[in-house]
Structures are given as structure tokens and as C-alpha cells.
Amino acid sequence: MTATKTFASQADLEEKKISFTQISEHAWAYTAEGDPNTGVIIGDDAVLVADTQATPAMAQDVIRRIREVTDKPIRYVLLTHYHAVRVLGASAYGAEQIIASQDTYDLIVERGEADKASEIGRFPRLFSNVETVPPGMTWPTMTFTGRMTLWLGKLEVQLLQLGRGHTKGDTVAWLPGEGALLSGDLVEFGATPYAGDAYFKDWPETLRRVEALKPQVLVPGRGAALTTPQEVAQGLAETRQFIADVYASVQAGVAAGQDLNAVYRATYAALKPKYGHWVIFDHCMPFDVTRCYDEATQYADPRIWTAERDIEMWKALEG
């Protein structure tokens, strides 16, 4: 590791300012200036938390904020997808059910251990007090395919798989009665989408299905809560455009017979002026371009990232 440039994220040590904001009658956004967000739904008789933070110690801050506004039990935890930074805090909530799509469950089986080691190595600051994570994987206790409805008293919460994007298991939480959506990492705002496990060809169409719900407010995976229909439209459009821009640049390079290194350098140069100010741009781009190159050449499904593969890739592209 010493022979190469270290991950952009390993030098990222600055603590972020946390906000806990009510965005509709029952939905709240826990956001941290581009660090991973948590969405909270406070129903009539129970609370649902979507994406748990990366460690139980970090989850305690989410719980503290929830307890400032309600004493209702936190009955449900929703894993919008399988990434360690989203799921490893789950044990802190004492939820009755940990819910995920069956696709997310399958990904935890297939690559959960490798992903955990990989993510903790890439971005140490996001795993504060990592020793509080219990050993083993975070296992869903309930899974679904396509759609599932929860009732928190009289509050209807729809859990929807609208298509592949950030991962094949992506799930959103939708409150049809108030037009509020918790999107997970399908939508970002002012933050670079991480696409190392993505489906570039599918993601834009999945975002169109999100758009078809006509959300009025939205908690993105990273970035500030979107509190007006105009901000929601902007978040959807910018996420979709970034994915399309990466894919177009990589496809052009592949068509010209360029290798991954050349495609990466060209794509980075093409996107830096437009997106370089977004959070974690330098960190995400090598992973995003590598996955996109894979998809445009020979790997329809994302390959498993291991800590070793991370370092080899980073060395090849950034060394």
C-alpha cells in the first residue's frame, strides 16, 4: 500500500455537521453534509429506520435524535441495500424486524463478508468505533420481492423495488399519503454516486420509475434532504445525468479499443469540470469507471470487491 497513492477517502478525516429535519408529516431526514444519510418514518404506533449508519456507536446518535421527537418503539429497520456502511449499525436499534429485498439478502450471502472488509478499509472515518459492530453479518429477518406494504397504525408505508441501479437489491420506502420517499443510494444530491456495484444500463430507467411516483420530498442516500418538488426533480436529474455521462464516456473508450487505464483517465478528465465539486468525487471515480468498463465489456453483473481487489484497482488507476 505504501508504494501507491492511498484511497482518497483515507485522508478524509473531517467530521460533518449533522441535521435531523422533518420533511413531511411522518418522515424525517438524518443527514451529514454528504456522509451516508438515514431516513426515519414515525408512524402512529411505531418507527421505521431506513439505513442504519455504519456502526452501532454511530447509530446511537440517530436514536438520540429520534428520542427527542418520539418515544414510540423502533420496530422496523429497512436495509435499502447491502453495503456495510448502511447496515452494520442495525443491532443498535433493537428492532423487531430487519427488512430487505430478497436480492439484498442474496447479496449479503454472496459478498457480505468481502464487502465489509473492503468498505472499512476504504473509508475508515465512516466506521467510527468499528469495534461496536457485532461479529458476522447483519441478517434480514424478513424479505420481500417487488413490493411490500407495512402499516404503522393507519400510516401506509410501501417498500418498493423499482429496478436495479446502485445495486440489484435497491429498495425505496414510499409514503403515498404524503408524497415522501426514502431513496437510499438510488438518488444522491450534491454527492457523487458510488457505482462500484451498479447497473449502469438500468439505473436511469429505475430513476424514471422513481420520478413516476411524483415524490414531493425525498431523503437521498447522501446530501441534503430534498424538501420541494423542484429539489426532488434536480436530485433525480443530476443523479441520472452523472450515470449517463460515465456510461457514455466509458462506452466511447471501449469502442475505441482503449484499456481500462486510458478509459479512466479520459472519463475522469471529462467529468471533473462538471462534477468535481461533488462530495467523494475522487474516491468514487475509480470504482465507478471500473464497474462501468466491466459492464460495457464482459461482466453483466458486478464483480465482488475485496480489500485486495480494491488496492490492486487503486494502484492501477491512481498509483
How far is it, in rounded angstroms, from Cα 193 to Cα 195?
6
Q: Kindly state whether residue 248 falls inside one of the protein's structural domains.
A: yes
* 256: Cβ contacts below 8 Å, ≥ 6 apart: none
Q: Which domain holds residue 64?
A: 8-318
pTM of the model: 0.94
Q: What is the CATH number of the domain that holds 275?
A: 3.60.15.10
Q: Where are the alpha helices (DSSP H) in the chain?
A: 56-69, 84-87, 102-122, 203-212, 229-255, 260-275, 281-297, 307-318
Q: Kindly state whether residue 133 falls inside one of the protein's structural domains.
A: yes
How far is it, in rounded angstroms, from Cα 256 to Cα 42?
52
Q: Kindly state whether residue 68 falls inside one of the protein's structural domains.
A: yes
Q: Is 66 exposed, middle or buried (0-12, 13-18, 19+ CB in 10 A)?
A: buried
What residues form DSSP beta bridges with 47? 42, 74
Q: Residue 198 has which C-alpha cell?
A: 451498479
| CA neighbor of 128 nearest in space, from 42, 13, 230, 46 | 13
307 phi and psi, to 5 degrees? -60, -35
Report the length, in residues, of the chain. Answer: 319
Q: Kindly state whether residue 245 falls inside one of the protein's structural domains.
A: yes
Give, as one character, the DSSP assignment of residue 92. Answer: G
User: What is the Cβ-side half-sphere exposure of residue 270, based on CA atoms within 13 angstroms?
Assistant: 17
For 71, the 3-state DSSP assignment is coil
Q: Which residue has cell 446530501?
A: 223
Domain tally for the chain?
A: 1
How far is it, in rounded angstroms, from Cα 184 to Cα 49?
12
How far is it, in rounded angstroms, from Cα 124 to Cα 191?
18
Please answer whether residues 171 and 161 qualify as being in contact, where contact means their C-beta atoms are separated by less than 8 angstroms.
yes
Q: Kindly state whether residue 208 falls inside one of the protein's structural domains.
A: yes
- What local confidence, expressed as pLDDT, does residue 318 receive? 83
* 289: Cβ contacts below 8 Å, ≥ 6 apart: 246, 250, 260, 263, 264, 267, 268, 317
Q: Kindly state whether residue 91 falls inside one of the protein's structural domains.
A: yes
- What local confidence, expressed as pLDDT, does residue 293 receive? 98
- What local confidence, expressed as pLDDT, does residue 5 receive? 60
Phi-psi region of 184 (alpha: psi -120 to 50; beta: other; left: phi over 0): left
How far is it, in rounded angstroms, from Cα 302 to Cα 292?
9
**Cβ atoms within 10 Å of 264's Cβ, excluding its own:** 25
Which residues of the chain, if any, have pLDDT below 70? 1-14
Q: What distance, in Å, lies between the first and last C-alpha atoms of the chain?
A: 10
Q: Kindly state whether residue 2 falls inside one of the protein's structural domains.
A: no
Q: Kindly state whether residue 3 falls inside one of the protein's structural domains.
A: no
